[in-house]
Amino acid sequence: MRQVIIIGSGPAGFTAAIYAARANLEPLLIASSVEVGGELMNTTEVENFPGFPEGIQGPELMAKLQEQAEKFGTEVLYDDVVSLELDGPVKKVILGSGAEHEAASVIYATGSAYRKLGVEGEDRLSGHGVSWCATCDGFFFRERTIAVVGGGDSAMEEATFLTRFASKVYVIHRKDSLRASKIMQERAFANEKIEFVWNSEVEEILGEAETTGVRLRSTVDGSLSDLALDGLFIAIGNDPRTHLVHGKLDLTPEGTIWVDGRSSRTSQRGVFAAGDVIDPTYRQAITAAGTGTIAALDAEHFLADLADGAPLAEPAAV
Ligand code: NDP
């Protein structure tokens, strides 16, 4: 049986692994079979992670975090967790391959998943002009006309990045002002290839086999209009990935995993959570890394108390 299993391979998971490994806990980190590295794998230049004044590419930062975790003895497994048994002193982690791993503690750092618009055509045209990842799919839209939906940092980052390929990038936003940080807004406003479509919601994505455009509804007067496009990138935020722990861990009204105060302790003894899955507010790589640290330290203390045979505090009620 392991001392600790970490689920998730974003900044929270790998930082927890670095700390746990340096505490000689020999962590096993389940990194998923396809999406190793989390959200930063879909980003380009990361300019706000302390210690990198020149900026660093998201995937490169994740590769460095993994290297650092492995250097101290983290074992990384590329598989998907399909179910969890979290009650009782022995936690069980069941993987897609059928393998089952046991541990005295679990750090849950599964991050968040792209939000969908929930409109007609979205699922059908996904991969046929509809995408959630500019760095993955931008290349396919060389000299094409595309749009990005959203008004946050992700939408500005994607739109700016996509101008490397596309001849024209619309940003469709449901309000008349952006939520994105000032610097990202200014970069987008200054880009000649970007045109803003304000006060508009996507009502439907048009096209049979390939995306041909969107039907927009004005949030001011409800009027409908069509915009011809070759592709649509959806960047409207993320939702915490909690489906594996529904009914097993308490959640907050925002849908994130409940943790006890400033700790990473969840409602289940021996289970700790970190990163975007507990954070509805800040959701930065560096804050995820910070909560990963907290989770590793909390797990370390929990395991030390277990080894001492000390009575364990019950988590406080939600
Ligand atoms: P946000 O939640 O910040 O923004 C989501 C945007 O999508 C908002 O403008 C929102 O509109 C809009 N939206 C949400 N739902 C819908 C919908 N159903 N239809 C239409 N529009 C919708 O998410 P982000 O992914 O942009 O950012 C998440 C976090 O990651 C933030 O903290 C951000 O700062 C950070 N980030 C930082 C980056 C960087 O610094 N390099 C890069 C990318 C992200 P409304 O404004 O009306 O609510």
Task: Report how far residue 80's alpha carbon sits from residue 96's, in angstroms, rounded to the nearest whole number.
Answer: 5
Task: Report how far residue 186's alpha carbon sits from residue 257's, in angstroms, rounded to the nearest whole number.
Answer: 35
**Other beta carbons within 10 Å of 149:** 25
Q: pLDDT digits over 57-116, tens only?
A: 999 999 999 999 999 999 999 999 999 999 999 999 999 999 999 999 999 999 998 899
Nearest CA to ligand 1 atom 37: 153
Has 136 been annotated as catalytic? Answer: yes
Q: What's the pLDDT score for residue 317?
A: 52
CA terminus-to-terminus distance, the chain? 30
User: What does the DSSP assignment read for 292-313?
Assistant: HHHHHHHHHHHHHHHHHTPPPP
Q: Which of 43, 48, 179, 187 to mutate to test ligand 1, by most ligand atoms within 8 A of the CB atom?
A: 179
**From start to end of the chain, where are the E strands?**
2-7, 28-30, 45-46, 56-57, 75-77, 81-85, 91-95, 100-108, 112-114, 130-131, 145-149, 168-172, 194-197, 200-206, 213-218, 224-228, 231-234, 238-240, 271-273
Question: Cα(149) to centroid of ligand 1, in Å?
Answer: 10
Has 298 been annotated as catalytic? Answer: no
Q: Of the residues 79, 87, 123, 133, which is catalytic?
A: 133
Q: pLDDT digits over 170-226, tens only?
A: 999 999 999 999 999 999 999 999 999 999 999 999 999 999 999 999 999 999 999
Nearest CA to ligand 1 atom 28: 237
Residue 281 has pLDDT above 90, yes or no: no
**Closest CA relative to residue 142, chosen from 164, 159, 162, 166:** 166
Task: Report how far residue 60's alpha carbon sits from residue 40's, in angstroms, rounded to the nearest whole number.
Answer: 9
Atom of ligand 1 nearest to the CA of 181: 34
Has 239 been annotated as catalytic? Answer: no
Q: Which residues of 273-311 are buried (b: 16+ CB within 10 A; e: fewer)?
A: bbbbbbbeeebbbebbbbbbbbbbbbbbebbeebeeeee
- Distance from the Cα of residue 139 to its chain's centroid: 22
What count of Cα atoms within 13 Å lies in the side-chain half-sphere of residue 228?
1
Q: What's the pLDDT score for residue 315?
A: 56
Q: What's the pLDDT score for residue 175?
A: 98
Distant-in-sequence, close-in-space partners of 16: CB < 8 Å, separation ≥ 6: 6, 27, 107, 109, 274, 292, 293, 295, 296, 299
Instruction: Output the CA–CA distances (angstroms, integers) from residue 152 to 57, 70, 84, 90, 188, in the order listed.
Output: 20, 34, 34, 41, 11
Atom of ligand 1 nearest to the CA of 115: 15
Q: What's the pLDDT score for residue 35?
A: 76
Tell me the sheet residues that pair with 237.
Answer: none
Q: What's the pLDDT score for residue 318?
A: 52
Of 124-133, 178-187, 266-275, give the lowest mean pLDDT range. 124-133
Q: Which residues line ligand 1 (CB under 6 A)?
A: 48, 115, 117, 149-155, 157, 174-175, 179, 201, 235-238, 283
Query: What confidence category does residue 316 fall into, taking pLDDT thresholds of 50, 70 and 90?
Result: low
Task: Report how far residue 22's alpha carbon sits from residue 306's, in angstroms, rounded to the nearest whole number.
Answer: 19
Question: Cα(92) to centroid of ligand 1, in Å?
Answer: 35
**Radius of gyration (C-alpha) of the chain in whole angstroms:** 21
Q: pLDDT digits over 6-57, tens only?
A: 999 999 999 999 999 999 999 999 998 777 888 788 777 788 899 999 999 9
Instruction: Give mean pLDDT, residues 306-312.
Output: 76
